[in-house]
Structure 1
Amino acid sequence: MAKIELLQSPLPRLEEIQKKVFCKEATHFLWKLHTHFDSKIEQLTKTRLKTSVELQSALAFKETPEWKDKSWKVGPLPLRLQNRHLDLGDVSASNAAHFTAALNADVQGVQVDFDDGHCPTWKNQLLAYNNINLAVNGKLVGAPSNIATCPVLMLRPRAWNMIDHDILINGKEAIGPLVDFGILMYHNAKKLYEANSGPYFYLSKLEGASEAALWNEIFVWTQNELGLPQGSIKACVLIENILSTFEMEGILYVLKDHCMGLNCGIWDYCASIISKFGTHEQFLLPDRNKYVNMDKKFLKSYMSLVVKICHYRGALATGGMAAAMLKPGSNGQDEKSKEIVNNVLESKMKEINAGVDGFMVYDTRLVPYINELWKKSSSTPNQIHRIMEVEVTAQDLLTIPSGGVTLQGLKHNVAVTILFIYHWLAGIGHFFYTGNVEDSATAEISRAQIWQWIRFAVTLEDDQRQVTARLVEKIATNFAVYAHKNLCRSNAERKRLNAAKYMSLEIFLSRNPPEFITTYLNDNHKFRTLHNKALLSNL
Structure 2
Amino acid sequence: MCQALRAVELELPPQELKEEFDILLNAQSLLFMAELVSTFEEEVEQILNQRIARKVHLNLTGELPKFSEDTAHIHSDKSWRVHPVPKRLQRRHVDIGDLAPCDTERFKQGLSSPAQGIQVDFDDGNCPTYYNQIKGLCNVYKVVHNQFADVPPISQAPLLMLRPRAWNMVEHNMMVNGKEVPGPLFDFGLLMFHNGQLLFQNDSGPFFYLSKIECYKEARLWNKIFLWTEEKLGLPFGCIKATVLIENILATFEMEEILYEMREHSAGLNCGIWDYSASFVNKFGHRPAFLLPDRSKYVNMEKRFLKSYMDLLVQTCHRRGALATGGMAAQLLPPQGKDSALYRRVLATVTRLKLLEIRAGVDGFMVYDLDLIEPMQRLFQMHTSGENQLLEIRDDLSVTPADLVTMPAGGVTLYGLKYNISVGILFIEAWLTGRGHFFYQGQVEDSATAEISRSQVWQWIRHRARLEDDERVVTRALVKSLAQEVGTETLLTAVHMFLEVVQKSQFPEFLTTYLNLDHTFLSSQNTRPQLETTDRLKHKL
TM-score under structure 1 normalisation?
Answer: 0.95
Alpha-carbon distance between aligned partners in 1 of 2:131 and 2:231, rounded to the nearest angstrom = 31
Mapped partners of 1:332, 1:44: distance in 2:
49
2:159 to 140, 152, 156: 152
Partner of 2:479: 472
- Is residue 92–residue 118 contact of structure 1 (8 Å, CA) maintained in 2? yes
Counterpart of 2:538 in structure 1 is: none
Shift of 1:9: 2.3
Picking from 83, 89, 112, the partner of 2:91 is: 83
Q: Does 2:199 match 1:196?
A: no
Query: Structure 2 vs 1, CA of residues 216 and 478 (structure 1 numbering), >3 Å: closer, same or farther?
Result: same
Q: Confirm whether residue 249 of structure 1 aligns to residue 243 of structure 2.
A: no
Superimposed CA distance per residue, residues 404-427 of structure 1 (whole angstroms, 9 cap, x where no aligned partner): 000000000000000000000000
1:135 alignment partner AA:
V
- Match of 1:154, SS state, is strand
Query: In 1, are the aligned partners of 2:74 and 2:256 still within 8 Å (CA)?
Result: no
Matches within 5 A, 1:499-538: 499-531=493-525
Cα drift, residue 11 of structure 1:
2.0
Structure 1, 333-342 or 431-440: larger mean CA deviation: 333-342
Q: Does 1:44 align with 2:47?
A: yes
Partner of 1:34: 37
Alignment partners' CA distance in 1, 2:172 and 2:272: 27
**Which residue does 1:491 correspond to in 2?**
none
Contact 2:291 2:407 in 1 (8 A): yes
> Is the 8 Å Cα contact of residues 231 and 258 (structure 1) preserved in structure 2?
yes
Amino acid in the other structure paired with 1:104:
S
Q: Indicate conservation of the 8 Å contact 1:236/1:262, yes or no.
A: yes
- Return the offset for 1:332: 3.3
Aligned to 1:365: 371
Offset, 1:513: 2.4
Number of paired residues?
518
Deviations 1:252-296 (A, max 9, x none): 001000001000000000000100000101100000010000000
Question: SS in structure 2 opposite 1:530?
Answer: coil
**8 Å Cα contact 1:264-1:303 kept in structure 2:** yes
- Whether contact under 8 Å (1:87, 1:107) holds in the other structure is yes
Indicate conservation of the 8 Å contact 1:407/1:461, yes or no: yes
The percent of aligned pairs where both chains have the same amino acid is: 50
Query: Secondary structure of 1:515's match?
Result: coil
Local SS of the residue matching 2:466: coil
Structure 2 partner of 1:187? 194
For residue 291 of structure 1, what is the aligned residue in structure 2? 298
> Would you say 1:416 and 2:410 are equivalent positions?
no
Aligned-pair CA distance for 1:530: 2.1
Query: Structure 1 residue 58: deviation in Å?
Result: 1.5
1:489 paired residue number: none
Deviation at 1:105, TM superposition (A): 1.1
Structure 1 residue runs without a partner (length 5+): 485-493, 534-539
What amino acid is the match of 2:230? Q
Q: 1:341 aligns with which of 332, 342, 347?
A: 347
Q: Is the contact between residue 14 and residue 526 of structure 2 (CA under 8 Å) also seen in structure 1?
A: no
Matched with 1:490 is: none
1:186-241 per-residue CA deviation (whole Å, 9 max, x = no partner) reads 00000000000000000000011110000000000000000000010000000000
SS at structure 2 position matched to 1:89: strand
Letter in 2 for 1:313: R
Give me the whole-angstrom Cα distance separating, in 2, the residues matched to 1:431 and 1:142. 27
Task: Please name the residue that 1:457 is paired with.
Answer: 464
- Alpha carbons of 1:141 and 1:480: their partners in 2 closer, same or farther (altered >3 Å)? farther
Cα offset, 1:5, TM superposition = 4.3
Whether 1:94 and 2:141 are equivalent positions in the alignment is no
Q: Would the alpha carbon gap of residues 185 and 230 (structure 1) be closer, same or farther in structure 2, given more than 3 Å must change?
A: same
Distance in 1 between the 2:356 and 2:176 partners?
A: 47
How many Å apart are 1:330 and its aligned residue? 3.9
Give 5+ residue unaligned stretches, structure 2: 528-541
- Which residue of structure 2 aligns with residue 332 of structure 1? 338
Moved over 6 A (4+): none
Matches within 5 A, 1:240-319: 240-319=247-326
| TM-score, scaled relative to structure 2 | 0.94
- Give the residue type in structure 2 aligned to 1:13: E
Distance 1:462 1:141 in 2: 56
Give the Cα separation in 2 of the matches to 1:179 and 1:45.
17
Q: Is the partner of 2:97 in helix, strand or coil?
A: strand
Q: Which amino acid aligns with 2:377?
A: N
State the Cα deviation string for residues 314-362 of structure 1 (Å, max 9, x = none): 00011100000122x3443321011100110111111111111110000
Preserved CA contact (<8 Å) 1:113 1:155: yes
Select which of 51, 57, 60 maps to 2:66.
Answer: 60
Shift of 1:527: 0.6
- How big is the alpha-carbon RMSD for the aligned residues of Structure 1 and Structure 2? 1.1
Contact 2:145–2:198 (CA under 8 A) maintained in structure 1: yes
Contact 2:282 2:509 in 1 (8 A): yes
The one-letter amino acid of 1:354's match is A
